Structure 1
Amino acid sequence: MMWRSFSADWLKIRGKGLWFLVFLGPIGLLAMQGLNFGIRYDYLTKQYHSDLWGGLLDNVANFVPVALYLGGTLICSLMANVEHQTSSWKQLLALPISRTAVFMSKLLLCLLLVAVSCLLLSVGTVGLGYLLGFGDQPVPYAKVMQIGFASYAAALPVISLQLWLSLSSRNQTLPVSCGITLSLGSLFSASLSEWFPLSWPIMAWSAPRPWLFSGAGLMLGLLLLLPGALHFARKDVN
């Protein structure tokens, strides 16, 4: 049943601006770093001359949490608005499909869209490095994949929370405001305690054992799914 719901949701997002957001996040982040390196090319290449790729990845990684939190927030909100704006929840939930399957299909689609954005970021980072002339040094492909997907796993608790809030509220002011606040707060997350989930995406890149924070994000994200799915299954919808 979930796959039928997923197929329907896939068709519903056409022309809703979701794919624009998927591409906008990584392209905007890479354009910012392209401008950064373009303006200060001599200084930055001299600073990172022993590891040009590492320097590029470090500069990109500083803004990945912001992009993940903000992008995840907007994707969740727009996806929920497909049903909210057309007042189609009652018709959807009257179909012979469980509410849990509806919730999980929307979550799966949201996670897929964010994953595509992370993949574009990793691929685009390699392309940017070659454009900047870093091809003489070997590409650290493991680090390139880590910059997108390790932080993505660590950010799953916030993405799960945002989907829960977005599906539960017809008025998207609260979930979007919450997401923007968390996005701005992530700029200072490196100074927060490692026990604070907001810091996990940057820790998943910079910590000595980054896999701990990716694993913690996966586990907490899965835990948040349970109350989210239960609340959605019992909540009255308009």
Structure 2
Amino acid sequence: MERTLKKTVSLRQMKLLLEFLDKNRNLALGRLRSKEGRALSKKLWAECADILNVENVGSSFRNGREWAKFYTDYKARLNNKVRAMRNNETTAATGAEIELTSLETRLCNILGYNIKDLLMAKANPLSLTREAKKESKIKTKRVKLKRRRSSSSDSSINSAKETLERIEESRIEVDRLKADGLFKIAESLAQMAEAQNRVAASMENLGAGVWQLLQRFGPAPGPQDGKIWEDKVQEHNILQ
């Protein structure tokens, strides 16, 4: 295809451009800003260029980047025009009322602009002011409601934090009491072990004393000699 340097955009190209943007609203609204979004935007503009350049006989031939630049400039001019209409301004050259073309009206619909408000502003400048005030009141109510919800949410969060802190303090106190109880049990066991050691030592001393008596008085008597053994023990005690 022979490329022409002519940059005039034909009516047919404008219609095809708006059809493409109508099918790809995120591209029209400039929402493809992420890394993946920019790659998709580049791909879509390349597809759009292929469609528009078919109609380049006697009109514009541009690549995807150039068509994107053309749309950005066209949308900026439309935004300025819409802003002027909302302010009930007139054209600087003739003082005539600002009018939207059919193509501009279609793009306004794609971009989500309220055409009814723009026409109302032309018919009655004060009507838009009343609508703007009404909208402003609604926005103010929404902001206040959002703030109340946020405050309520913050209060709930703080209450939950305080509850968690109390639970944590109770858990720490329980752990401390458990530790104290275990320490007292260990201390009691140590005392019991010490007492057992003393008893064992006493038993050992007692056994040694009995052994000395056995060594002194001879072997332990049998049942028939019980009286003789008892007399010897008494004698020993008297001598002591």
Q: Same fold, TM exceeding 0.5?
A: no
With a CA cutoff of 8 Å and minimum separation of 6, indicate the structure with the bigger relative contact order.
1
- TM, length-normalised to structure 2: 0.22
